[in-house]
Amino acid sequence: MVVKRKNTFIRQVKDITLSGALTAGLLATAALPLGCGPDRNQTETVYTKGVQTFIKEVDWGEFKITDEKVVGEGESKAIVTYLDGRVDTLSLAEARKIVDTPIDSTATQQRHGNSSYGYHHAGLGSALMYGSMGYMLGRSFSQPVSPGVYASPQVFNRSTQHATVVRNSVVSRPTNASRGFFRGGSRGSARGASS
């Protein structure tokens, strides 16, 4: 004869429930893909060459590229000379902000007291976007540099060569790679390449 103690049944149910919950938790964890969390195989597309662009305001709101030169990685910038003689140096991030900022004529008129400010801003944005720097700002590789943003045919001809160097400098690197370590990475497409 088996002697049964009080509450034995309840303890057995508790043990089964606890072990069942632990098993379910382990199975659920095992079913998750191993790659959860940060993907160690993610890559980023970078340019190993940059461009320095010289832009001059030739008339109110009209900007022309007067020169461009190929520079090293991370050295891209635009040097803008305005009609009033002021010179401004824009980093790639600042140039991107100008290109990406939509022009709201009402807001710009309230902010600057001048409805033609939007045109002024748009003119600079066009020079930045349609020169060689435009590829680093998101313009598609299928769109060539525009002769209309250059001060002369000679500058345009030189810049088409610079644009080719910039386009060909695109590589993919692991996102956690230190700069310069994976320079021999495979070619990739830049931001906007498929647009």
- Grade residue 172 by pLDDT with cuts at 50, 70 and 90: confident
pLDDT at 183 over 50: no
Among 42-46, 97-101, 132-136, 191-195, the least confident range: 191-195
pLDDT > 70 in the chain, percent: 59
pLDDT at 54 over 60: yes
Predicted pLDDT at 151:
96
- Grade residue 182 by pLDDT with cuts at 50, 70 and 90: very low
Q: What is the pLDDT of residues 22-41, one digit of tens each?
A: 555 555 545 445 545 455 57
Predicted pLDDT at 166:
86
Predicted pLDDT at 181:
38
Predicted pLDDT at 7:
58
> In the numeric block, which tokens belong to residue 108?
């710009």
pLDDT at 46 over 50: yes
Q: Provide the whole-model pTM.
A: 0.62
Predicted pLDDT at 101:
81
Q: Please give the residue that has the higher pLDDT: either 50 or 173.
A: 50
